[in-house]
Amino acid sequence: MNYVRTAILLAGLTALFMGVGYLIGGESGAVIAFCVAAAMNLISYWNADRLVLSMHGAQEVDETTAPELAGLVRELAARAGLPMPRVYIMDNPQPNAFATGRNPQHAAVAVTTGLIERMGREELAGVIAHELAHIRNHDTLIMTITATIAGAISMLAQFGMFFGGGNRGNNNGGPGMIGTLAMVILAPIAAMLVQMAISRTREYAADNYGARIIGHPEWLASALRKLDAAAHAIPNEAAERNPATAHLFIVNPLTGQGMDNLFSTHPNTANRVAELERLAAELGAGGRRSMAGRAAGGSTAGPWSGGSGGARDQGGPWS
């Protein structure tokens, strides 16, 4: 059902984009809009991951420079049946993370220094599993496409103000000046609503699958509570400079929202935690390990089975 909703929303976003092009230039405008969208998506497909990582000053690490983090990502990726993604660290005090890349073979997971410093080992595993779920579900590509089309709609709507929309309205039955003004105001808002609706849909799905990867939904629920509280208290300057990337993070790095309203880039954290608590009850104490193994298609061993701290170690991630 989540995929059906996403497909419907993407179709609506594309139709809105072509509709703006039609209002500006008639049938030829719609064709041009479609061509522009295709070109922008092609560019985004190949380069979006590098661009967003650069925006946030992410530095690539490996099992030599960050052995604990890279080792954890490798183990969880194996449990999820994914190839090892590239791992990045962002020098940012706000605990947060995101995934990017056009497909699982060209994916990256980026975490902030604040996440490493403030999360326990189990909570860190929950966050990384959530990001790996985005990769497995190809959400990183979907969100790139939606961001690109939404941005193009805003660009076209602004362009329409200088393209003679009023003259079309007077001579050829177009929208006229009032219609053009309405388009400039309403089209970007409509695009933003669709983009955010897609983002919220994918976040719930990633929470669910990420929790199944680790077999303990309460780990991710605990992390989300901490992340939400920190997002209200610790600014994320890189995200403030690049607000179009906010929807990529596990929690909104800009502002916290008190409810699932139309203008929120993420679901309300309390709602996400409630869903995870329901999943924990569904899996039950006896079914968590086997459920995690089925989700990953591999081993059912816990992510800390090889470490000295044990699965219930509540210390820092590197203790």
Task: Determine whether 163 is exposed, middle or buried from the number of CB atoms within 10 Å of its CB (0-12, 13-18, 19+).
Answer: middle
Q: Is 27 a catalytic residue?
A: no
Under a CB-based contact definition with an 8 Å cutoff, are residues 91 and 114 in contact? no
Q: How far apart are CA 177 and CA 319, in angstroms?
A: 64
Residue 276 CB coordination number (10 Å): 25
What 3-state DSSP class applies to 59?
A: strand
Which has the closest alpha carbon to 49: 82, 74, 15, 86?
86
Q: How far apart are CA 242 and CA 171, in angstroms?
A: 41
Q: How far apart are the first and last CA of the chain?
A: 41
Tokens of 32: 């041009």
Longest alpha-carbon distance in the chain: 77
The torsion angle over the Cα atoms of residues 276, 279, 281 and 287, rounded to 10 degrees, is: -130
Tokens of 51: 């661009």
109: which strand partners?
Answer: 87, 99
Q: How far apart are CA 215 and CA 289, in angstroms?
A: 6
Q: Which of 131, 240, 275, 282 is catalytic?
A: 131
Phi-psi region of 164 (alpha: psi -120 to 50; beta: other; left: phi over 0): left
Q: Which residues are catalytic?
A: 131
